[in-house]
């Protein structure tokens, strides 16, 4: 099997795995863990008061999702940069040895 065909099949598999849950559960409500935790706490103790309130509330859920995705992208960028740096350093030291 050619490499292009294999990569194409893998790409289709990844896309299928990403969108299949959204198609299967299209009537489900996707809410965050914060919302679910707040609902669970209010059912246990109706008089519960939070310890603190955020000093800035994002204007919408989309902005909040954007910041979450940005945080994930920056974090993975750092992780993979250092992994690549370590691999390059290891390869360079291996190449310099007789």
Chain segment 22-67, per-residue pLDDT in tens = 888 888 777 778 788 888 998 998 888 888 888 888 888 888 889 9
Q: 0.85 cut: is pTM over it?
A: no
CB 41 within 8 A of CB 48: yes
Residue 25 lies in a domain: yes
Q: Where in the sequence is the domain holding 14, given as residue range(s)?
A: 1-46
**Closest C-alpha among 75, 57, 74, 64 to residue 31:** 64
Residue 2 lies in a domain: yes
Do 92 and 70 have their domain in common? yes
Per the structure block, which two tokens stand in for 96?
């310099």
């Amino acid at each position: 099997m050619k490499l292009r065909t294999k990569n194409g099949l893998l790409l289709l598999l990844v896309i299928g795995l990403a969108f299949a849950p959204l198609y299967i559960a299209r009537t489900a409500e996707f809410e965050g863990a914060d919302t679910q935790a707040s609902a669970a706490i209010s059912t246990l103790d109706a008089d519960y008061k939070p310890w603190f309130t955020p000093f800035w509330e994002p204007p919408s859920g989309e902005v909040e999702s954007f910041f979450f995705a940005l945080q994930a992208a920056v974090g993975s960028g750092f992780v993979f940069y250092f992994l690549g740096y370590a691999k390059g350093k290891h390869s360079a030291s291996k190449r310099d040895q007789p």
